[in-house]
Structure 1
C-alpha cells in the first residue's frame, strides 16, 4: 500500500492522506476517481489498465507499479499494489537493533523453558497475523512480541490498536516494546520501553532494563491518614483506591514472567483516560477484588474538642501551657464517679503528665475535690482504661482475620465487622478524651502503641 498515487491520464499525483488529494482546485476528485476504479473492477478490467500507478517509492525507483483503490470501513483510503514484489519494495529492511531484540527474546524464553519463534504467521479467519516473536508460555498462554524501533513519528505508527485487538481475539497477548518515548506514552496497547541502545549492547547477556510500561499498584484507604489525593476529587471519600507507581524490571525477566503468567497486562481506568501497562498477577487479583467491592468506611466523626492552637508537631514540654493548665478547673463528671487522677494534665500535655509522677510532692497540684466523689474507669499500667485496650485489641483481631481471607464475599463481610469494631474504638477514644479534656490524637496514638507494642 502507498499514500501517493500517479494518475497516468490526468498526469497528476494524488495524496490519499488529504481530503482534497492535494488538489483543492478539483472538487470531488476522490469520488470521481474512486467510482471510476470501482466501475472498472466490476467490469473485470485488469488493474494495469485502470490508469493508477504508485507515485512514491516505485516511481522514484523508475518502476511502473500498477495499483487499485480501496476504502476501509473506518473511512481510510488505501491504494493497493497489483503485485506482491512491488508491495515489498515499500517495506523497510529490519535493523540490526530489531534483530538483536528478536534474538534476545528467543534466548530469554529458552532459558525459562519456553518455546519461541520469530516471524510467525498465524491464521486468523481469512487473513493472517504476522508476529515478530511468538513465545509459547504456560497453560497455553501465547505472548506476541512486537518491536518498534522505526524512525517515523508517533503519528506515522498506525493500526497498532487494530493489530493488538486482532491478536487478542485469536488468543495472542500483544506485547509491544520500543526505545522511543513518544511510542511508550501511547495507550493503544501495552507498551514497554528501554533506553536506545546499539545492537551489540542489546545482544549481550548483561542486564537490559525496562524503564517504562511496568507498574506496581499501591492500595490505600481514602481517610485522613492517606498520602494520595482522592481520585474522585473530594476531600476524603472513605473508599479503597489503587495508585500505580513506576517500577523497573529486567527485560529477560519480563519475557519469562509474561510467559509464566506472573506478569500480566492490565487496563487501569482513571477519570479521563484508560491506561494500559503490565503488573504482577498478585496486583491484578487485588485490583479486580477492589473493583468488585463497594464497601466503604463509616463517615469520619467531627471532633471539635481540640483547641485551634493545638498542633500534632508541638513540643513535648511547654511550661507556659502547663501553668495555664493547672489554673483551669477540673471538669465535673456525673455523680457516682471519682475525681480525675491529678497526674493527667488537661489539653495537649499527655507526655509531661507521665513525667509528673517523678516530680517532688510539694509541686502545686489540682485542688482536692473531696466534696465531689468521682471514679474513672479502671486504668492499667499504661494509664489508659482497660475498656479502651480491650476494644482496640478486638478491632486488631478482626483486621487479622480479614488478612487471612481470600473470597470476595467473605472479605466483604469480615471487612464490615472490622469497620464496626474500629468505629467503636474511635467513639470510645473520642468520649474518653472529651470527658478528661485530653488531646484525642495523643490518646489514640498511645492506645495503639500499648496494644500493638505488646504483640496483641
Structure 2
C-alpha cells in the first residue's frame, strides 16, 4: 500500500502511518491533505516514486502521478492511504443513469403533487449541492441526496449539517444495505433497479429507513417478545419499539418513493434519531409518521434533533501502524487494499426500543390520577383513545374501560373469575 506521499508546497515527505505524519510541528497537516481535491490544489500531493524520478506506474498507464488521501479498510483497521487520482470511484454510465433517473422521478413526483421542486440546488454558501429540493406548502424544504456509490461517513455528516444550516432537511437515498450513509443522517433504501425501470415508472418501494412505532403490554397473550428477557417470558411492563412495515402487527403497507416525496414535504412523515441502548453517539436514523414521532417524544421525554454539529464517526477513526515509508509506487494495488466487505448497516430488526413502567393502577382517593406519559403509553398499547381509559374493577389496572366492546374487568381478571 502507499503509506507515503510528497507535499509539493511544503517540500516535505509525509508518512501516513505516523500519528503526527512525521511532522509534529504541523498540527493542521492532516486536515490540509485530506481536504476534498476540489477544494485544494490537485497537484498538492505527489507520488514519491514520481518525485524521486523513478517509475510511477499510474503515470506509465496514462493516468496521474498526483494523489489524494483516503481512509482504507482492511482487517478491521482504518489506515490512511495515498491513492492516485482520479478518485476511488467513478460512476459507471449505468450508475449515472440510475442516479439521474431517480432524481428526475423525485422531481416529477413532486411536481405531480403540485409541490415546488428543483434539481441540482446549490446551498447559499455554495459549499454543497442537493440533487433535488422539494418545498412543501408550508415552506418545509427536503433535500434529496441520491447516493448510489460509496461516500465516507464524515462527508455524509458534513453535507447533512450544511443542509440543516440552510434550512433544508436532508433525505439520503441508497440502494445498498452496506451503504456507509445508513444511520449517519436521515435516509431510505430502494431496490437496485435498472435506470430504464426507474424512468419507466416501475413500482419503487422504500425497502429500508422507514419504520412504525409499536407499543405493547408484555403479557403471555401478547404476540411480541419481551425486550428485557431476550424473548423468554413476560415482564408485565409496557414496551415501545420501531419496526419495518412487514414486521408490524398487523403488517403495515409499504411506502413508495412517491409517498415519501409528498409526505416528507407536507410534514406527514418526519425524520427521527433513536439512540442505542448503550448510549453514546450510536443509534438509528429513520423516517416515521409525524404521529409516531410525537408519541415517541412524549414517551421518552425528549426531542430527536437532526445532525447539527460535526462529529467523528467510528468509521473515521484512523489506525496508525507506525511503519517506515514504502517508496514503491503501488498504483494498481490500491483497489484490493480496500476490498474488505463493508458490514450490512440496514437491519430489519427492531431498534432495541424502550421499556416503560407497568400499566398504571388505581391509586387511593384519586383513581384517575396518572401522568400524561402513562396515559399516552396506555392508549397506544391498548389501541384506544385516551378518553376510553379507565381502571379495571378487579385489579385497578388501567384498561379500555369505556369504549365500544369494553368491559368492567381486564382479561387476566376475567380469566381468573371464569376459573372460580
TM category (shorter chain) comes to 0.5 to 0.7
The residue correspondences of 1:313-328 to structure 2 (distance < 5 A) are none
Choose which of 205, 210, 229 in structure 1 pairs with 2:206.
210
Cα displacement (A) at 1:97: 0.5
Instruction: Select 2:291's aligned residue among 269, 274, 282.
Output: 282
Q: Structure 1 or 2: larger helix share?
A: 1
Equivalenced residue count is 300
Q: Residue 112 of structure 1: CA displacement?
A: 1.3
Task: Identify the residue that residue 121 of structure 1 maps to in structure 2.
Answer: 122
CA contact (8 A) 2:173 2:189 kept: yes
CA distance in 2, matches of 1:57, 1:106: 44
Greater relative contact order (Cα < 8 A, sep 6+): 2
Distance 1:446 1:101, change over 3 A: farther
Contact 1:184 1:192 in 2 (8 A): no
- The correspondence for 1:30, drawn from 21, 45, 48, is 21
Deviation (angstroms), 1:99: 0.5
Q: Is the 8 A contact 1:134 1:142 kept in 2?
A: yes
Q: Out of 222, 229, 246, which is 2:225 matched to?
A: 229
Q: CA deviation at 1:121?
A: 0.9
Deviation, structure 1 residue 261: 1.0
C-alpha separation in 2, matches of 1:36 and 1:291 = 42
1:215 CA displacement: 1.1
* 1:193 and 2:202 aligned: no
Which runs of structure 2 are paired with 1:285-304 in the superposition (5 Å)?
A: 285-292=294-301, 296-297=358-359
Post-superposition offset of 1:108? 0.6
* Deviation digits for residues 334-378 of structure 1 (CA, Å, limit 9, x no counterpart): xxxxxxxxxxxxxxxxxxxxxxxxxxxxxxxxxxxxxxxxxxxxx
Partner residue, 1:240: 238
Q: Does the C-alpha gap of structure 1 residues 299 and 277 become closer, same or farther in structure 2, counting only changes over 3 Å? A: same
TM-score scaled by length of structure 1: 0.52
1:50-199 aligned at under 5 Å gives the runs 52-53=45-46, 59=59, 61-62=62-63, 92=91, 95-124=96-125, 128-150=127-149, 152=150, 158-183=154-179, 186-199=182-195
RMSD: 5.2
Q: How far 1:6 sits from its partner (Å)?
A: 4.6
Alpha-carbon distance change, 420 to 194 in structure 1, aligned in 2, over 3 angstroms: closer
1:207-250 CA distance string (max 9 Å, x none): 21111111121111234443333334496555432222212211
**Residues 115 and 135, structure 1, Cα contact 8 Å, conserved in 2:** yes
Q: Cα gap change, 1:410/1:267 in structure 2, threshold over 3 Å: closer, same or farther? A: closer
Q: Is the 8 A contact 1:134 1:143 kept in 2?
A: yes
How far is 1:30 from its partner? Answer: 2.3
1:5 CA drift (Å): 4.0
* Runs of at least 5 residues in structure 2 that lack an aligned partner in the other structure: 33-39, 49-55, 70-78, 246-253, 303-355, 380-385, 398-411
Deviation at 1:4, TM superposition (A): 7.6
Are the aligned partners of 1:137 and 1:260 in contact in 2 as well (CA < 8 Å)?
Answer: yes
Larger Rg, first or second structure (1 or 2): 1
Correspondence for 2:391: 421
Corresponding residue number in structure 2 for 1:452: none
**C-alpha deviations, 1:133-163, integer Å up to 9, x for none?**
111123221111111112x4x8x56522232
Is 1:259 the counterpart of 2:265 in the alignment? yes
Q: Is the 8 A contact 1:184 1:193 kept in 2?
A: no
Secondary structure, in 3 states, of the residue corresponding to 1:102? helix
Aligned-partner Cα distance in 2 for 1:66–1:270: 38
Q: Does structure 1 retain, via aligned residues, the 8 Å contact 2:5–2:45? A: yes
* Contact kept? 1:119, 1:133, Cα under 8 Å: yes
Per mean C-alpha deviation after superposition, the further-off stretch among 282-291 and 58-67 is: 58-67
Question: 1:135 is paired with a residue of what secondary structure?
Answer: strand
CA distance in 2, matches of 1:246, 1:298: 29
Q: 1:67 to 1:284 in 2, by over 3 A?
A: closer
Q: Structure 1, residues 84-135: CA drift from partner, whole Å, max 9, x if none?
A: xx989986577110000111011011011111112211124xx622211111
Describe the SS at the equivalent of 1:208. Answer: coil
